[in-house]
């Protein structure tokens, strides 16, 4: 009897202690931050004789065909739109005034480009009407734009894209500003170091990563202009992670400056030029973010062939492209021993890939 009472007492005490003990919860380890890849290329011009050829064949993907897999593989694809879409003729087949048929946006959409800089010296070639038409056409197509707007505020407002829960803000600027003052209409943002500091600071309140596009620099030379460098440094000092440069039509050097990276010129991408020979070479930046932090950078050389058609360079083609800007291999960061045989694409990989013809959707063909 005493033994039974003892056992019952022990069980009662154990039950009471279990009620008093706080409930244990499993330890939750934070998930590793997701990776986001940004692919950036330079100037796109879908006018001149390329525009005529696309209109005649109704094939708006022809210039993108050999490089589409690289663009589509990225979480975000960026380019500079060098020339506005205009809702009505004329559409010039040559010359320095660019007016692009609206149907050509089908190629940009099919290629997977997500965001366009429209801050450049040709976006205003069609005046207010083509600027407004272009911004609206891109919006309807689901493509973000940066660097120009129907108001000053819109031109300086970042385009924000969210990938894997990380907010990426894009700002655009050029040496060829237009109406760049408060209260003005149809504005293109200018290369102003003080203004970019203010814009980057404002963008950082809206986003986790700020990327600045700059259309600027001395054409046809690998030398970086002092005013270009000053502006890019100001953007990084203000908190931008990356500056993407274009306009010189040839590749220029890449700089790690403090905590940021500057691609001073990616060169052409889809742009009808033939001389000097360097205008038919380019860079494609591939930047990997882990969370909001840059963890890998690559500068992939490109060769631009007939009718402004870019493709990946082979090792033999790509080595001199990188050497001109002081590089020996495509991988920039992190520092690592990389086998060039693994880093370069093979000649087979650089060959044209078969892809379907892309015609304009009815709403973009008007």
Which tens digit of pLDDT belongs to each residue from 187-211?
Answer: 999 999 999 999 999 999 999 999 9
Q: What is the mean pLDDT of residues 357-366?
A: 36
pLDDT for 15 beyond 60? no
pLDDT at residue 365 in the model: 25
The neighbour count for residue 261, using CB atoms within 10 Å, is 22
Name the pLDDT band for 164 (thresholds 50, 70, 90): very high
Range from 167-171, 188-192, 318-322, 329-333 carrying the lowest mean pLDDT:
329-333
pLDDT for 321 beyond 80? yes
For residues 168 and 118, the answer to whether their CB atoms sit within 8 Å is no
pLDDT for 6 beyond 60? no
Q: What are the tens digits of pLDDT across the range 238-296?
A: 999 999 999 999 999 999 999 999 999 999 999 999 999 999 999 999 999 999 999 99
pLDDT at residue 112 in the model: 98
For residues 188 and 151, the answer to whether their CB atoms sit within 8 Å is no
Q: What are the tens digits of pLDDT across the range 204-249?
A: 999 999 999 999 999 999 999 999 999 999 999 999 999 999 999 9
pLDDT for 343 beyond 50? no
Q: What is the mean pLDDT of residues 301-323?
A: 95
pLDDT at residue 332 in the model: 86
pLDDT at residue 154 in the model: 98
Please report the domains of the chain, with CATH numbers, ordered by start residue. Answer: 35-364 (3.60.21.10)
pLDDT at residue 27 in the model: 60
Name the pLDDT band for 307 (thresholds 50, 70, 90): confident
Q: Could you tell me the pTM of the whole model?
A: 0.86
Name the pLDDT band for 31 (thresholds 50, 70, 90): confident
For residues 99 and 81, the answer to whether their CB atoms sit within 8 Å is no
Average confidence score pLDDT of the chain? 88
Q: What is the mean pLDDT of residues 303-311?
A: 94
CA nearest neighbour of 284 among 136, 158, 111: 111
pLDDT for 349 beyond 90? no
Name the pLDDT band for 350 (thresholds 50, 70, 90): very low
The residue count of the chain comes to 366
Q: What is the mean pLDDT of residues 138-160?
A: 98
């Amino acid at each position: 009897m005493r033994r039974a009472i003892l056992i019952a007492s022990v069980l009662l005490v154990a039950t009471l202690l279990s009620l008093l003990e706080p409930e244990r919860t499993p330890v939750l380890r934070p998930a590793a931050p997701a990776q986001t890849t940004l692919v950036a290329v330079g100037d796109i011009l879908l006018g001149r004789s390329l525009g005529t050829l696309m209109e005649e064949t109704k094939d708006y993907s022809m210039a993108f065909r050999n490089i589409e897999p690289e663009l589509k593989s990225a979480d975000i694809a960026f380019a500079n739109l060098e020339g506005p879409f205009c809702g009505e003729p004329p559409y010039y087949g040559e010359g320095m005034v660019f007016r692009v048929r609206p149907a050509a946006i089908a190629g940009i959409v099919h290629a997977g480009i997500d965001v366009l800089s429209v801050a450049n010296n040709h976006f205003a070639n069609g005046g207010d009407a083509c600027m407004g038409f272009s911004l609206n056409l891109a919006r309807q197509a689901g493509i973000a734009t940066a660097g120009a707007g129907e108001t000053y505020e819109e031109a300086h407002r970042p385009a924000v894209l969210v990938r894997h829960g990380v907010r990426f803000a894009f700002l655009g600027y050029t040496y060829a500003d237009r109406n760049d003052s408060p209260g003005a209409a149809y504005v293109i943002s200018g290369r102003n170091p003080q203004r970019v500091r203010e814009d980057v600071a404002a963008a950082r309140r809206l986003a986790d990563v700020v990327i600045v596009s700059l259309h600027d620099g001395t054409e046809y030379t690998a030398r970086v202009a002092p005013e270009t460098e000053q502006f890019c440094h100001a953007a990084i000092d203000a908190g931008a992670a990356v500056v993407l440069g274009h306009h010189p039509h040839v590749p220029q050097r890449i700089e790690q400056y403090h905590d940021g990276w500057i691609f001073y010129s990616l060169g052409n991408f889809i742009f009808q030029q033939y001389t000097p020979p360097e205008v038919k070479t380019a860079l494609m930046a591939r930047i990997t973010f882990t969370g909001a932090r840059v963890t890998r950078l690559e500068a992939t050389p490109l060769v631009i062939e007939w009718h402004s058609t870019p493709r990946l360079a082979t090792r033999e083609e790509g080595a001199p492209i990188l050497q001109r800007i002081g590089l020996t291999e495509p991988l920039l960061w992190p520092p690592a021993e990389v086998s060039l045989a693994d880093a370069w694409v093979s000649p087979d990989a650089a060959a044209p890939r078969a892809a379907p013809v892309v015609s304009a959707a009815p709403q973009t063909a008007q």
